[in-house]
């Protein structure tokens, strides 16, 4: 039976860490080692882990406490260094999996020779693990479109063949989870995307996708990779960067990017979702003034 490693980075996760670990222990596939990287939590995370799973630490579970808060990219990479499995699975401390997620992902790896397997995220849960919504959003069948339009990225839905894992990069936080897919695609890794609804992402206000540095990190990834992206996908990554600008009120750069995306790929707006997104967010003057008022000292050149 193939050995796999599940890496769970956690910082101040006392509310959810028990549920995350339990969702791994309840997997139908049992040959999993669990590696918890505690990023110097200051709440009761450590006591929850040792109180609930203390008898498994040193056996089924490896527990590592960082000497200081080093952020999630470092923690995931540290877990990968400690891993003994053929495949690396990542699980955020506030998310959960369906019971057959690991087994179904191993099957995809073994049957298709994948380097990376991503399970499209559809189910979102609340603080009590009740289903909040199930997305019916359509995803393109083209792997490149999914990657460069940022339809992929959640670490909870991501598994790597350990031999090809090249590590998350700190400077791209919180878009390090998107950047690693862009980098891997450009490097020629075989990426398999499964629309099988096996991961449950917890929706709550403290997720980093709701915070302003998501905007600046998106532009950092865009600027660093636009010239390396295959020409056929430059419209996708440019349009996505423009949408993120709109979302946070950077209307000026948002329109620059959307117009540039139309030049790169004239048919990119042949989507009701994209049209509605531009209409909804591209004319929010209130967000425009709030954005530039709050960030007068931040300059972003595109």
Contact by Cβ (8 Å): 105, 91: no
Q: How far is CA 179 from CA 61, 73, 221, 237, 240, in A?
A: 29, 12, 6, 11, 13
Contact by Cβ (8 Å): 23, 92: no
Give Cβ neighbours of residue 4 (< 8 Å, ≥ 6 apart). 29, 31, 32, 33, 85, 86, 87, 88, 89, 102, 106
Q: How far is CA 193 from CA 64, 69, 109, 139, 182, in A?
A: 31, 32, 11, 10, 14
SS (H, E, C) 173-238: CCCHHHHHHHHHHHCCCCEEEECCCCEEEECCCCCHHHCCHHHHHHHHHHHHHCCCCCHHHHHHHH
Q: Which two tokens stand for residue 67?
A: 């000497």
Q: How far is CA 119 from CA 29, 58, 155, 284, in A?
A: 17, 30, 10, 34
Gap between the Cα atoms of 145 and 231, Å rounded: 12
Model's pTM, two decimal places? 0.91
Q: What is the pLDDT of residue 268?
A: 87
Classify residue 243 by its DSSP letter: H
Q: Which CATH superfamily is domain 4-205 in?
A: Spore Coat Polysaccharide Biosynthesis Protein SpsA; Chain A (3.90.550.10)
Gap between the Cα atoms of 1 and 269, Å rounded: 47
Q: What is the pLDDT of residue 300?
A: 47
Q: How far is CA 188 from CA 26, 68, 128, 168, 278, in A?
A: 34, 35, 40, 17, 32
What is the CA angle 172-192-113, rounded to 5? 115
SS3 at position 129: coil
Long-range contacts of 268-274 (CB under 8 A, 24+ apart): 268/235, 268/236, 268/239, 273/137, 274/239
SS3 at position 59: coil
**Any idea where the domains of the chain sit in the sequence?**
4-205, 212-294
Gap between the Cα atoms of 229 and 158, Å rounded: 21
Q: Does an H or E element contain 90, and which?
A: strand 87-90
**Per-position pLDDT tens, the chain of length 302:** 999 999 999 999 999 999 999 999 999 999 999 999 999 999 999 999 999 999 999 999 999 999 999 999 999 999 999 999 999 999 999 999 999 999 999 999 999 999 999 999 999 999 999 999 999 888 888 999 999 999 999 999 999 999 999 999 999 999 999 999 999 999 999 999 999 999 999 987 665 555 678 999 999 999 999 999 999 999 999 999 999 999 998 888 999 999 999 999 999 887 777 767 777 776 666 665 566 655 554 454 44
Q: What is the pLDDT of residue 297?
A: 46
């Amino acid at each position: 039976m193939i050995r796999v490693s599940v890496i769970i980075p956690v910082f101040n996760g006392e509310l959810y860490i028990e549920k995350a670990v339990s969702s791994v222990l309840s997997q139908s596939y049992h040959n999993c080692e669990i590696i918890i990287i505690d990023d110097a939590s200051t709440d009761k995370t450590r006591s929850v882990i040792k109180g609930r799973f203390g008898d498994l630490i040193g056996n089924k579970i490896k527990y590592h406490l960082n000497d200081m808060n080093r952020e999630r990219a470092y923690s995931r990479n540290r877990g990968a260094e400690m891993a003994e499995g053929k495949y690396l699975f990542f699980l955020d401390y506030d998310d959960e999996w369906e019971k057959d997620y690991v087994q179904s992902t191993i099957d995809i790896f073994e049957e298709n020779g994948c380097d990376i397997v991503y399970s499209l995220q559809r189910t979102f849960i609340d603080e009590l693990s009740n289903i909040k919504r199930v997305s019916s959003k359509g995803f393109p069948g083209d792997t490149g479109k999914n990657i460069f339009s940022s339809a992929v990225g959640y670490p909870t839905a991501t598994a790597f063949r350990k031999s090809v894992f090249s590590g998350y990069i700190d400077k791209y936080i919180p878009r390090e989870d998107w950047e690693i897919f862009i980098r891997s695609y450009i490097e020629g890794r075989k990426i398999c995307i499964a629309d099988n609804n096996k991961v449950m992402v917890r929706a709550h206000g403290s997720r980093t996708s709701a915070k302003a540095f998501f905007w600046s990190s998106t532009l950092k990834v865009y600027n660093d990779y636009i010239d390396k992206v295959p020409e056929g996908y430059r419209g996708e990554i440019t349009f996505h960067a423009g949408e993120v600008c709109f979302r946070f009120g950077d209307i000026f750069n948002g329109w620059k990017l959307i117009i540039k995306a139309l030049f790169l790929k004239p048919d990119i707006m042949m989507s009701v979702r994209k049209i509605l997104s531009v209409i909804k967010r591209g004319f929010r003057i209130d967000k425009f003034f709030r954005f530039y008022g709050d960030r007068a000292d931040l300059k972003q050149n595109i």
